[in-house]
Structure 1
Amino acid sequence: MCQIIVPQLVILANLFISTKNALAYLKQLLHKLSADITAVPAALQQSHYPALDGLRGLAILLLVFGHFGVNDYTRHYGIFFNSATGVNILFVLSGFLITTLLIKEKLRNGSISLKYFYIRRALRILPVAWLFLLVLAGLNHVFELHIRLFDFIAAMLFFKNMPVQQEPYTAHLWPLAVGVQFYLTFPILLVLNIRWYTIISLAIVIVVPVVCVINHFAPAVFASNAVLHLLARICNYMFWKGPVVILIGSVFSLLMFKGIINPEKLKVNQLLSLAILLVGIIVPAKTFLFYTKYLSEYLSAILIGLALVIAISQKDILSKILSSAILTTLGMLSYSIYIWQELFSGTRNLQPWMQYFTQLPLWATIGFKCIFLAVIVSFSFVFEAWFLKLKDKFHYTRSGADKKAAPKN
């Protein structure tokens, strides 16, 4: 009898200890989440992160390769450049950087200037985007592209992510619309109350993917109830495509500030963050063997955020790769590249201004696209650089002095 009872008691005791430890950890976690942010963690004390410029450069490479037809060659070797993953990397970066910079401003000055924040965002986004639309209006007239006035208005006012009829020349501005709409809402909540911003962000990051997955695999669960059906539609159309991914980046920043993620204490392998990022890039590709809608994209965004955090905290292989001159330069040019690349996207369905190259091999067509894009981006960046210099003047400090010491965004 004792031989039966004693092992069971040991199992129960171990279970009790494990439960007690789990509850203690959960209590500590909740305490950290609700605690005020009082200091900038060591990994976030820099004013500039070269590795993040490089990550932005990698994202734009994924996007351009996917759009320019490189997959027609690489798919024979099982390699696929997913342009959507490039966009998601940019989303994660945006959420992480915006949250980091605003919290650092609050800690430095005691408050956040929304006025200066929106001036900086406007100077960063509007000039190049509106210059592109102006050039596109000229092309629309010369080549009779039949782009509607509505499409120009939707692009100029940043609601291209809405479920409206799209045309190819401005359709790529939907991530810009998502970003602008995020800037107009969530930073306000961050300014008002960081604790509530944390709670709401975590709730959205956890609940929305769960609702989307259930609605995808078991649609009857939400179709049977009007309220649940509305919830599913809101999650799908308002939060899934963009906002959730941006908030994942934001949550990683919050968790670092609150000491829940402390990458400096991690003793990680030099290749760990590189492996995590590669998995994050491979998982959401529809050619991936275990691809699962919603789950793959969600896991990818989390892995990208985790790789980002490790890369800026450790001098590992990924950090060195991302800090290379080529990727950081591409990162600096990434916004102009993203805006103008749509004029040359597609493989055989070439735009009217590319019709003279239709008889060339695909590799030659891709080469000409890259050359033309490089020339346009060179001129565009000169235009963009003037506004970037102007943007750097709008950093709020309580004394109004030493603006050059303010972090760059």
Structure 2
Amino acid sequence: MQNLTIKLPAAIQQPGFRALDGLRAVSIGIVIMAHVLTPFLGNSYLGLIGVYIFFVISGFLITTLLLKERVKYGSISLKGFYIRRCLRILPVAYGFLLVLLCLNALFKLEIPGSSFLNCLLFIKNLPILPNRDWYTGHYWSLGVEEQFYLLFPFLLVSLSLRNYKRLIVCLIILIPLLSIINSRKLDTGYLQVPGFIHWAITWVVNLFGGGTVLILTGSLFSILLLTENRFITHICNKAPAFSSLLLFTIGSMLLYPTLPTQIRIFSVPVFGFIIAFVIVLNLKERAMFGRLLEFEWMKKLGILSYSLYIWQQLFTYKQPWHNAGTNVWLLLLNLTALLIVSFLSYSLYEKKFLNFKKRFKRV
């Protein structure tokens, strides 16, 4: 069967994609707000909304860039891809851990060595080593991302685009079903399931159920857009200017924690589809939400989003130097410090690696 044909829309041919930096700014803003509000409201579902948006953006962006590379050069360099990813992710991730190691000794934070090891190996999302501490808690999302990078770009290169699309569609459908099975268990009075099946399902859910579905959804929408899927094309052409903002609002409500567990398991992939639609619709100049995200300060905040995400764990809740708790002025002081530290981290440290990363850039 003939493979899918890739065609690059005008919005995708640009070096940067419209409104994506602004959407990153919204994502990191939601994460920071959720963590700041923890002393007031307890654990909030808001933080997950921000991280889940990052996952969808990541899947869409990575797949689009790799397919652009295939169009331009006729092939995809996995070596170049992994070098670029390492230069983007590792310097700040490991730099934070080095600083945290010093703070752990200075302030006696009692962060166990297993937590540092989990973060170094990017397995924080897997039930391998004990890793319950606040300061490295956000590394679970980096684990999800890195595990995706290890497998799915290789599949994108190895499989035809049509078969890759079929595979990720199957996974998007299958993983939520396995999550429900895992949460409810399989043993009943009529059916006794061997322990290794429970073990296998648990591992599949841990590997692919904590955000990978959302990254795959972004990847799927990249393929649908670049292969001119009729449904996506029709939606993009006919959707009114306010639709992406409306969809974003509706999608955020789907993750409300009081919904039944079974509904929330399926609401996560539905949320992913909604955010993917938001990304695609915002590529259009007329999109109202896209225009808001294009404000210069939003784009600058989006550029800082990775640094902000890594460093915010020290400044938003349980600060090592002083637990601000519900003291609003101390919280504001810590947020100011977070912005300064993130800016300096990006300008004086990250940027050196990002400039070196440009040597391996192909599109």
TM-score by length of 1: 0.80
- The corresponding residue for 2:240 is 269
Match of residue 125, structure 1, among 81, 89, 108: 89
Distance 2:39 2:112 in 1: 31
CA displacement at 1:225 relative to structure 2? 3.0
Letter in 2 for 1:284: L
Q: Indicate the residue corresponding to 2:335 in structure 1.
A: 370
1:306 aligned residue: 277
Question: 1:161 — aligned with what?
Answer: 125
1:253 to 201, 222, 227: 222
SS in 1 for 2:321: helix
Give the partner amino acid of 1:95: G
The one-letter code sitting in structure 2 at the alignment partner of 1:97 is L
Residues of 2 paired with 1:229 and 1:157: CA distance?
25
Deviations 1:102-151 (A, max 9, x none): 01101100111111111111110111111111111111111122222332
Query: Out of 182, 200, 204, which is 2:167 matched to?
Result: 200
> Alignment RMSD, CA only?
2.5
The equivalent position to 1:83 in structure 2, one of 19, 44, 47, is 47
Q: Give the partner amino acid of 2:72.
A: R
Q: Which residue of structure 2 lines up, in the alignment, with residue 293 of structure 1?
A: 264
C-alpha separation in 2, matches of 1:266 and 1:292: 31
Query: Which range moves more in the overlay, 230-239 or 137-146?
Result: 230-239
Instruction: Give, in angstroms, the shift of residue 71 of structure 1.
Output: 8.4
Q: CA shift at 1:292, angstroms?
A: 2.8
Pair member with larger Rg: 1
State which drifts further: 260-269 or 81-90: 260-269
Work out the CA distance in 1 between the residues paired with 2:237 and 2:157: 31
> Quick check: 163-172 or 83-92, which moved more?
163-172
* In the alignment, structure 1 residue 329 sits paired with structure 2 residue 320: no
CA distance in 2, matches of 1:269, 1:244: 28
Write the letter of the residue equivalent to 1:282.
Answer: M
- For 2:13, the aligned partner's letter is Q
What per-residue deviation string (whole Å, max 9, x for no partner) do you get for residues 315-371 of structure 1?
21011011112221111000000000001232xxx333024x56xx53223211211
**TM superposition shift of 1:204:** 0.3
The range that moved more, 300-309 or 60-69, is 300-309
Paired with 1:68 and 1:329, the residues of 2 have a C-alpha distance of 21
Q: Which residue in 2 is equivalent to 1:181?
A: 147
Contact 1:62 1:81 in 2 (8 A): no
Kept in 2: contact 1:49–1:312 (CA 8 A): yes
Give the equivalent residue in structure 2 for 1:105.
69
Work out the CA distance in 1 between the residues paired with 2:218 and 2:10: 18
Q: What pairs with 1:10-409 in structure 2 (closer than 5 Å)?
A: 35-69=3-37, 72=40, 82-163=46-127, 164-166=129-131, 167-193=133-159, 194-216=161-183, 219-220=186-187, 224-226=192-194, 229-230=198-199, 232-260=201-229, 261-262=232-233, 266-287=237-258, 292-346=263-317, 350-355=318-323, 357=324, 362-382=327-347, 383-396=349-362, 406=363
* SS of residue in 1 equivalent to 2:264: coil
Q: How many residues align?
A: 354
8 Å contact 1:53–1:327 — kept in the other structure? yes
- C-alpha distance 103-45 of structure 1, shift in aligned 2 (>3 A): same
Q: Which runs of 5+ in 1 are unaligned?
A: 1-30, 397-405
- What residue identity is the alignment partner of 1:212? S
Give the drift of 1:228. 5.6
Contact conserved, 1:50 with 1:328, CA < 8 A, in 2? no
Counterpart Cα distance in 2 of 1:290 and 1:321: 34
CA contact (8 A) 2:236 2:280 kept: no
Q: Distance in 2 between matches of 1:223 and 1:246?
A: 34
* Separation (CA, whole Å) in 1 of partners of 2:261 and 2:116: 39
Structure 1 residue 287 displacement after superposition: 4.8
The 1:219/1:300 distance shift into structure 2, 3 A limit, reads: farther
**Structure 2 CA distance for partners of 1:370 and 1:291, relative to 1, 3 Å:** farther
8 Å Cα contact 1:66/1:83 also seen in 2: yes
- CA gap of 1:85–1:223, structure 2 versus 1, over 3 A, is farther
Provide the rounded CA distance (Å) in 2 between the counterparts of 1:373 and 1:291.
Answer: 37
- SS of 1:211's equivalent in the other structure is helix
What is the distance in 2 between the residues matched to 1:389 and 1:86? 27
State the SS of the aligned residue for 1:372: helix
CA separation in 2, counterparts of 1:264 and 1:174?
34
State how far apart, in whole Å, the 2-side matches of 1:128 and 1:85 are.
23
Could you say if the C-alpha distance between residues 218 and 225 of structure 1 is closer, same or farther in structure 2, counting changes exceeding 3 Å?
closer
Aligned equivalents of 1:58, 1:291: Cα separation in 2: 28
Equivalents in 1 of 2:135, 2:91: separation in Å? Answer: 18
* Cα displacement string for residues 349-402 of structure 1 (whole angstroms, at most 9, x for unaligned residues): x333024x56xx532232112111012112101111121111112124xxxxxx
> Contact (CA 8 Å) 1:59, 1:86: kept in 2 or not?
yes
State the secondary structure of the residue aligned to 1:292. Answer: helix
